[in-house]
C-alpha cells in the first residue's frame, strides 16, 4: 500500500510538472545609437547585465523632426506586451519628441511627433525618458528643455539652462498638459525613474552645470515626485545618459563617459553607497546612451534572425 501511494504521488508530480508552463529565459536589451545619430535604432543584449554584444543592423530609421535624428532612445514595455520607444529628434528647434510602438522590436508603427512644449521660445526637447506607471496605468515621459529667462541662470547661458518637464498618457493619443517635473536650482538633464517598491522611487539625474556635468540621485514617494534630498555627485565629470537595471539584488547604473568615449557603471543596493564597476562591464565601441529593459529570449532570437537577412 505504501509503495502504491508513493508511486501515485510520483506520477501526479510528473504530470503536474509536465503541464506547468516554464518561464521563458530573459535577456537584458540595451537601446543604442551611433553618432552622428542620423542612422537609427540599434540594440545590444546581455545574459548577465554586465557583458554585452551588438545585434547588427538598424531597426528603426528616424523620419521626423527638423534634423531627423534618433538620439537617446528610451524604451519600456506596456500593457499587451507592447513596447514603446521615445527619442530626441533634433538638437534644437523641435518642440516635441519622437514616439513609435512595436510588439517584436522589428516592425514599428508610424512615427509620431509628440508635442511637448507649447512655449515657442523653448530651445530644445532633449532626452525623453519613458516610464510605465503600473499603479495608475499610464506612461510618464520626462525630458529636459531650456526656456530662456524662465529660471535664474546661475553660471549657465540662457540657451543652456535646462529644467525637467513631463507629461502623461495612457494611449499616446491623448496627453496631459506639460508640467514642470524638477527644478533643483541648477541646470538638469537626462533623468531616469526607478521604482524600488510601492511609494519608493529614485530619480537618477545629470547636473549639467559647468564644470560638474555629473550624476546625482533624488527620492520620492510617487513617480512624478516631488523629488527631494538631491544627493552629492556619485560619478566623475563629463557623464551623461544614465540608465538603471537590476541585476540580482543590486542596481547597475550605466552612463556614457563621453569625453573618454567609453561606458561606465556604478553598482548600488540603496542609492546611497556606490561601487565603481566600470572594469567589470564590457560594451562594444561606438555604443551611445539609451535604456536597458528585460525581454524574452524569443525577442532576442527574432532580432538576431532579422539582422542576418
- Tens of pLDDT, residue by residue over 175-188, are 999 999 999 999 99
Q: Are 100 and 109 in contact (CB under 8 A)?
A: yes
Per-residue pLDDT at 45? 98
Domains present along the chain, CATH in parentheses: 25-308 (2.115.10.20)
Per-residue pLDDT at 1? 47
Per-residue pLDDT at 173? 96
Per-residue pLDDT at 273? 98
Residue 15: which pLDDT band, with cuts at 50, 70 and 90?
very low
Three-state DSSP class for residue 280:
helix
Q: Are 84 and 65 in contact (CB under 8 A)?
A: no
Q: Are 212 and 237 in contact (CB under 8 A)?
A: yes
Q: Is 165 exposed, middle or buried (0-12, 13-18, 19+ CB in 10 A)?
A: buried
Cis preceding linkage at 36, omega within 30: yes
Per-residue pLDDT at 154? 79
Question: 57 pLDDT exceeds 50?
Answer: yes
- Tens of pLDDT, residue by residue over 60-117, are 999 999 999 999 999 999 999 999 999 999 999 999 999 999 999 999 999 999 999 9
Per-residue pLDDT at 22? 66
Question: 3 pLDDT exceeds 50?
Answer: no
Q: Say which DSSP state 54 is in.
A: E
Percent of the chain at pLDDT above 90?
Answer: 87
Residue 21: which pLDDT band, with cuts at 50, 70 and 90?
low
Three-state DSSP class for residue 134:
coil
Residue 307: which pLDDT band, with cuts at 50, 70 and 90?
confident
- Tens of pLDDT, residue by residue over 283-304, are 999 999 999 999 999 999 999 9
Per-residue pLDDT at 182? 98
Q: What is the mean pLDDT of the chain?
A: 93
Per-residue pLDDT at 194? 98
Per-residue pLDDT at 216? 98
> For residue 281, which of 298, 266, 303 has the smallest C-alpha distance?
266
Per-residue pLDDT at 11? 42
Mean pLDDT, residues 265-283 taken together:
98
Per-residue pLDDT at 240? 97
Per-residue pLDDT at 4? 47
Per-residue pLDDT at 24? 83
Helix ranges, the chain (H): 2-19, 297-308
Q: Are 128 and 143 in contact (CB under 8 A)?
A: yes
Per-residue pLDDT at 268? 98
Amino acid at each position: 500500500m505504501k509503495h502504491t501511494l508513493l508511486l501515485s504521488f510520483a506520477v501526479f508530480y510528473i504530470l503536474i510538472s509536465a503541464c506547468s508552463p516554464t518561464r521563458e529565459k530573459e535577456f537584458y536589451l540595451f537601446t543604442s545609437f551611433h553618432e552622428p545619430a542620423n542612422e537609427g535604432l540599434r540594440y545590444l543584449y546581455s545574459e548577465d547585465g554586465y557583458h554585452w554584444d551588438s545585434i547588427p543592423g538598424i531597426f528603426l530609421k528616424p523620419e521626423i523632426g527638423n534634423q531627423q535624428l534618433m538620439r537617446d532612445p528610451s524604451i519600456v514595455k506596456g500593457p499587451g506586451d507592447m513596447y514603446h520607444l521615445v527619442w530626441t529628434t533634433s538638437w534644437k528647434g523641435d518642440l516635441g519628441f519622437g514616439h513609435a510602438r512595436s510588439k517584436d522590436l522589428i516592425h514599428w508603427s508610424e512615427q509620431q511627433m509628440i508635442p511637448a512644449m507649447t512655449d515657442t521660445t523653448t530651445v530644445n526637447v532633449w532626452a525623453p525618458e519613458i516610464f510605465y506607471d503600473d499603479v495608475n496605468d499610464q506612461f510618464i515621459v520626462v525630458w529636459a528643455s531650456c526656456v530662456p529667462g524662465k529660471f535664474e541662470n546661475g553660471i549657465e547661458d540662457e540657451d543652456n539652462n535646462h529644467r525637467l518637464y513631463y507629461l502623461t498618457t495612457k494611449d499616446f493619443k491623448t496627453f496631459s498638459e506639460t508640467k514642470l517635473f524638477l527644478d533643483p536650482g541648477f541646470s538638469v538633464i537626462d533623468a531616469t525613474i526607478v521604482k524600488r517598491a510601492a511609494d519608493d522611487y529614485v530619480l537618477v539625474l545629470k547636473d549639467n552645470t559647468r564644470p560638474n556635468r555629473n550624476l546625482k540621485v533624488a527620492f520620492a514617494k510617487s513617480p512624478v515626485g516631488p523629488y527631494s534630498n538631491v544627493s552629492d555627485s556619485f560619478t566623475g565629470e563629463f557623464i551623461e545618459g544614465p540608465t538603471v537595471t537590476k541585476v540580482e539584488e543590486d542596481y547597475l547604473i550605466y552612463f556614457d563617459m563621453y569625453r573618454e568615449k567609453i561606458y561606465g557603471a556604478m553598482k548600488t543596493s540603496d542609492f546611497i553607497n556606490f561601487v565603481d564597476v566600470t572594469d567589470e562591464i564590457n560594451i562594444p565601441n561606438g555604443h551611445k546612451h539609451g535604456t536597458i529593459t528585460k525581454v524574452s529570449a524569443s525577442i532576442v532570437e527574432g532580432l538576431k534572425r532579422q539582422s542576418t537577412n
